[in-house]
Amino acid sequence: MADFGADLELEEFRNEAKAWLAANFPPSLAGKGAAAMTDALADSPDLRAWKKAIGDKGWATPTWPTQYGGGGLSQAKARVLGQEMAKIGAFNPLMFGMGITMIGPTILDYGTEAQKAKHIPPIVRGEVRWCVGYSEPGAGSDLASLQTRAVDKGDHWVINGQKTWTSGAQWSDWCGMLVRTDPSAKKHDGISFMLVDMHQPGIETRPIALIAGASPFCETFITDAVAPKDALLGQLNVGWTVGKRLLQHERASQTGGGGAGVRQAPLHELAAKYCATDATGRLEDLDLRNRIIRNAMDARAHGLTLARAAAEAKEANGATNAASVLKNSATNVAQTRAELTLEIMGAQGLGWEGAQFNREEVEAVRGWLSGKAMSIYGGSAEIQNNIISKRILGLPDTTQST
Range from 43-47, 259-263, 264-268, 379-383 carrying the lowest mean pLDDT: 259-263
pLDDT at 402: 44
- List domains and CATH numbers for the chain: 4-96 (1.10.540), 130-237 (2.40.110.10), 264-392 (1.20.140.10)
Given a cut of 90, whether residue 97 has pLDDT beyond it is no
How do residues 26-63 score in pLDDT, each as one tens digit?
Answer: 998 887 776 555 554 567 899 999 999 999 999 999 99
Q: Are 188 and 200 in contact (CB under 8 A)?
A: no
C-alpha torsion 331→335→336→340, nearest 10: 160
Give CA–CA dist 188/94, Å, rounded. 33
Given a cut of 60, whether residue 153 has pLDDT beyond it is yes
pLDDT at 14: 96
Given a cut of 70, whether residue 315 has pLDDT beyond it is no
22 — pLDDT class (breaks 50, 70, 90): very high
pLDDT at 150: 97
Range from 16-30, 41-55, 272-286 carrying the lowest mean pLDDT: 41-55
Range from 4-13, 245-254, 285-294 carrying the lowest mean pLDDT: 245-254
How do residues 187-205 score in pLDDT, each as one tens digit?
Answer: 899 999 999 999 999 999 9
Helix (H) or strand (E) holding 200: none
User: Catalytic residue positions?
Assistant: 250
pLDDT at 257: 46
pLDDT at 327: 82
pLDDT at 262: 44
Average pLDDT of every residue of the chain: 87
Encoded amino acid at 224, one letter:
D
- 3-state secondary structure (DSSP) of residue 378: coil
Q: Which residue has the higher pLDDT, 194 or 320?
A: 194
Given a cut of 90, whether residue 106 has pLDDT beyond it is yes
Give whichever of 105-114, 328-337, 347-356 has the largest mean pLDDT: 105-114
DSSP, residue by residue, 334-372? HHHHHHHHHHHHGGGGG--SSTTS-HHHHHHHHHHHHHG
φ and ψ at residue 288, rounded to 5 degrees = -65, -40
Give CA–CA dist 224/240, Å, rounded. 23
DSSP, residue by residue, 26-49? -GGGTTTTTHHHHSGGGG-HHHHH
pLDDT at 38: 54
Chain centre to alpha carbon of residue 178: 19
Residue ranges in 111-217 assigned as alpha helix (H):
113-124
How do residues 78-90 score in pLDDT, each as one tens digit?
Answer: 989 999 998 998 9
Q: Are 166 and 205 in contact (CB under 8 A)?
A: yes
Cβ atoms within 10 Å, residue 374: 19
